[in-house]
Amino acid sequence: MRHLFFTAAFFGLVFSSVQADVSMPNVFGNHMVLQRDIPCPVYGSAATGEEVTVKFAGQEKKATADARGRWMVKLDAMEANANGQTLEVTAKNTINFTDVLVGDNWVCSGQSNMEWSVGGTLNPAEEIKAAEYPGIRLYNVQGHITSPTPASDASGTWQICSAGSVPGFSAVGYFFGRRLNKDVKIPIGLIGANWGGTRIEPWTPPVGFRMVPELKAIADSVNKFDLTTEEGKATWSKYIADMEAWLAAAKASLASGDGIPATPDSPGPRGGGEPVAIYHGMVSPLVPYGIKGAIWYQGESNGGEGESYYHKTQALVKGWRSVWNQGDFPFYWVQLADFQKSNGKPEGGDGWAQIREAQRKSLTIPNTGMAVIHDIGAENDIHPRNKQDVGDRLAQWALHQTYKQDVVPCGPLFQKIVVEGNKIRIHFDHVGDGLMVGAKEGLAPTKEVPDGKLERFAIAGQDKAWQWAEAVIDGETVVVSCDAIAEPVAVRYGYTMNPRGANLYNKEGLPASSFRSDSW
């Protein structure tokens, strides 16, 4: 059945290129947002050799469909514009897209915590009622789709953000976009592509795996059917030849009444949850639509990993940037929330401790950021309902790093340690207005605990035996010590499946990320 499905898909693509009418992917539609400040791509298909004219905002661009029926123009860079305009595309027929805004588009992707809808968050009725934002536009890739090869289109419709359209949209995406729309005051397009329970590998394009040497085994496995490689072209040629021979034999066999012969032994393309399959089905149809950047909430399904998730994050980010060819666009992700119970041991290392560390290490990738949320999760629920703070904390990064606003992007991030006798002094980035012991409850802002005691710090000596430490704030640093360790060499903070109780914040109310200074 896999072979039959692909054969139909293959010939469908061939036939689509000879249709006379100009057509465009579903990501183009009424109420869409076109990306500002870049040569903005507008593209589609038409009959081979047909001239296509695109008119928008006083511009007129022309292109000719190539041998495969593809065409593209790039509109000159435009400023943000919240007034709806008409995009006209003309060949033998004319398509008019109305109420088109110009602003910033953000892809909102990941597994179930990104897919989780506004209707399932805290205070859903109030949030939905208040969601009247004509300057925010929502587009969601419909369904959960895999494909053996890059799909050129997927179902979806642009909608104006309202009480009627927002309930089923990504809550994290919406709260992120709402903050940007309010603070930056430009149109925001939110493009959802999500699938609960998925790993990171299926979301990653083949080129991403090839860009990370540590992932050579995965790269080799997907190269087999990647048409950008010689191996892939050769494999496809044999596969198509085998399938065409089978189709001829099947036609003859059916005509003679002998039934359908078995499919050939030639291995078919990969699908399901394997590497690149969801990228092909749900992300490729969005490329190269103009975007500002991406936000990402995923990792639970890779939760047993550590360093390998760092390599895979590099592949995802570098891969998406490569296929979009819009430079090193901003990419912001969510560090996993607190969940289940900690083992209560000072060394930690259980559960999601290592993948959170890999997510923190991934901040070495240029133009990235990470929302820390270990203080707003739920011990008994892998889908914490407080998505408002998640979206806001992602927006902090975008406001600081992308939009150059004077805001602190996140809570304290570990920078280095300095050993001072029997104590260790910890230095941080993003201290903001200072460090504090904080307490966070529900949607209320974080409160400072004036006489509070820092928790969840542990230290070890050369023997690698971990002990809970006394920790005190000293200016913009934290000093840790333990009477049982005369010569400490390493520190860990919140390094456990559930770091609940870890209470170091900056005075902006943003939590410090868990970390370890060692590599044991």
Q: 104: domain CATH number? A: 3.40.50
pLDDT of amino acid 15: 36
Instruction: Say what the pTM is.
Output: 0.90
CA angle 390, 395, 396 (to 5 degrees): 100
pLDDT of amino acid 258: 63
Q: 323 and 447: one domain? A: no
Q: 446 and 298: one domain? A: no
| 8: in domain | yes
Where does a domain end: 336, 362, 381? 336
CA-CA distance, 77 to 340, in Å (whole number)?
Answer: 49
Q: 324 and 423: one domain? A: no
| 351: in domain | no
| 225: in domain | no
Q: What is the per-residue pLDDT across 121-139, written as a single tens digit (0 to 9) for each?
A: 999 999 999 999 999 999 9
| 254: in domain | no
Q: 100 and 204: one domain? A: yes
Q: 327 and 434: one domain? A: no
Q: What is the per-residue pLDDT across 231-264, written as a single tens digit (0 to 9) for each?
A: 777 876 776 777 678 778 777 776 776 655 655 6
Q: 23 and 154: one domain? A: yes
Q: 329 and 424: one domain? A: no
Is residue 78 within 8 Å of residue 10, measured between CB atoms?
no
pLDDT of amino acid 4: 34
Q: 40 and 186: one domain? A: yes
Q: 313 and 454: one domain? A: no
pLDDT of amino acid 20: 63
| 378: in domain | no
Give the structural domain span for 33: 2-216+273-336
| 353: in domain | no
Q: 330 and 418: one domain? A: no
Where does a domain end: 308, 336, 364? 336
Q: 189 and 311: one domain? A: yes
CA-CA distance, 320 to 293, in Å (whole number)?
Answer: 10
Total tally of structural domains belonging to the chain:
2
CA-CA distance, 456 to 467, in Å (whole number)?
Answer: 10
Q: Could you tell me the maximum CA-CA distance found in the chain, to the nearest angstrom? A: 90
Digit-by-digit pLDDT tens for the chain (520 residues) are 333 333 333 333 433 444 569 999 999 999 999 999 999 999 999 999 999 999 999 999 999 999 999 999 999 999 999 999 999 999 999 999 999 999 999 999 999 999 999 999 999 999 999 999 999 999 999 999 999 889 999 999 999 999 999 999 999 999 999 999 999 999 999 999 999 999 999 999 999 999 999 999 999 988 877 777 787 778 767 767 776 787 787 777 767 766 556 556 555 554 446 899 999 999 999 999 999 999 999 999 999 999 999 999 999 999 999 999 999 999 999 999 999 988 889 999 999 999 999 999 999 999 999 999 999 999 999 999 999 999 999 999 999 999 999 999 999 999 999 999 999 999 999 999 999 999 999 999 999 999 999 999 999 999 999 999 999 999 999 999 999 999 999 999 999 999 989 999 999 999 999 999 999 9
Q: 432 and 299: one domain? A: no
| 495: in domain | yes
Region label for 138, one of left (φ > 0), alpha (ψ between -120 and 50) or beta (otherwise)? beta
| 267: in domain | no
CA-CA distance, 274 to 150, in Å (whole number)?
Answer: 14
DSSP output for 46-62: -STT-EEEEEETTEEEE
CA-CA distance, 68 to 47, in Å (whole number)?
Answer: 8
Tokens of 175: 């709260």
Where does a domain end: 336, 354, 376? 336
